[in-house]
Amino acid sequence: MSSLKRIAVLWFCLISAAFAADDYPVIRKALDTVLPGSVPDKIQPAPVPGLYEVTFGPQLFYISEDGKYLVQGHVLDIAGRKDLTEARQGELRKASIDAIGEDNMLIFAAAKPKHTVTVFTDVDCGYCRKLHNEIKQTNALGITVRYLFFPRSGPNTESYYKAVSVWCSENRQQALTDAKAGKELPKKTCANPIDKHMELVHAFGLQGTPAIILEDGRMVPGYMPAKQIQAALEGKMEP
């Protein structure tokens, strides 16, 4: 690329950034009224004329183009029979989970992976234990399971410290399996990502466990057998 072209590209980027900073002044003013000092991750036209989509991490709502109305809820495409809001929230969930990184997850990998699900789990949750009892079957179907912790009793509780002990164990997979079988683990502490997991719990608005996040970010609240997880991943059933 010539020097002249490089200068032209740089100038275009600077101009674009300047305009982007001043995009949607009416929307930004409305936001500052209801959420003073807030800085959204993104503002963009919504699928519905007259509405703009505003996102903060995985959270999503809409504001009218005149800045007078804020809408919290789902936009449904009647003709297409599709929940447009859920599809978009799926994208945002996926991005938030990807940002956590697999180094901060407890992973049961399939030998021949075809799909990946992310599961928010509580060591003391009965249905989480039922789901984990099928982990070999799930892996055999080519589904890798990535666990994030959601101790429902909250931070600094017995379930929370069990999650920490699992993470700090030399063999995390075995420690989780033992904990879910009701075995008592040696209490351990170390640097851990449990609080990061909990931040996602609150951002996603999760209420219970297990919560299964499919590859496209769609969420399945509650237990689902391995075969049904496979069917949902392959589009053979709605989650």
What 8-state DSSP symbol labels residue 155?
Answer: T
| Residues 129, 158: Cα–Cα separation, whole Å | 17
Give phi and psi for 151, each to the nearest 5: -70, 105
Quote the Cα angle for 91-93-96, to 5°. Answer: 110
**Residues forming the active site:** 122, 125, 128, 152
| Residues 28, 211: Cα–Cα separation, whole Å | 34
| Residues 161, 151: Cα–Cα separation, whole Å | 9
| Residues 131, 212: Cα–Cα separation, whole Å | 10
